[in-house]
Amino acid sequence: AARRAARAARRLARARAARKRRAAIKRARRRARALRKRIQRMKARAAKTKAAKLRARRLRRLRAARRRLRARRARIARLRRIKAARRAARAAARRAARAAALRRKLIRQRRARRRLRRRVAKLRRRVKRRRRKCSKRCRRRQARRKRRLRKALKKAARRRAAAKRAARRRRAAAKRAARRRRAARRRSAAARRRAARRAAKRRRAVARARARALKRARRRA
């Protein structure tokens, strides 16, 4: 009976030890699974944060590129405005200089006309002047003087007519030159407009290409 009791006790002890062993193995397996899951979760979180960081970096780069583009456009627009203002100032200065030159020319012409009129009036007064009856020699001298005066008057009239013709010719030449200048300005303005249109077209094409590239980059992100 004592042997039986000892055997039963040994059996119980063995069974208890086996149960404990099994429970320890189960616990170890559970812990290992939990650890694996935790590692997986951490890896997934790290991957997510890495993707978010990459996305944020790409967005930052895109924003910086857009900012640079806006700044460049603003700078170009400012330079264009400055150039246009300078061009307008130069044109105004040229117009003012031309007006001043014309004023001076008109003043000179007026003075010349006045001088000519005075000279003609003086000559006429001389011709009209009457003398009392004098000797034959004196009369001859007077006749000579009169002829010379008439000749001088004719010469003055011819000179006046020539001056008028020259003035007319000058005015016509100035008008022609002004017309030519206007035509050239119109031509150059048309050329400038064409160049500006071409440049705008190029800029639009570049902007479209850039926008397409940005869209592709965003899609990739």
Task: Give the per-residue pLDDT at 207.
Answer: 92
pLDDT band at 104 (very low <50, low <70, confident <90, very high): very high
Phi, psi dihedral angles at 175 (to 5 degrees): -60, -45
pLDDT for residue 129 is more than 70: no
Phi, psi dihedral angles at 71 (to 5 degrees): -65, -40
Note the pLDDT tens digit of each residue in 166-210.
999 999 999 999 999 888 888 888 888 899 999 999 999 999 999
Torsion of CA 174, 180, 182, 188, to 10 degrees: -150
pLDDT for residue 68 is more than 70: yes
Rounded to 5°, the CA angle 217-220-221 comes to 85
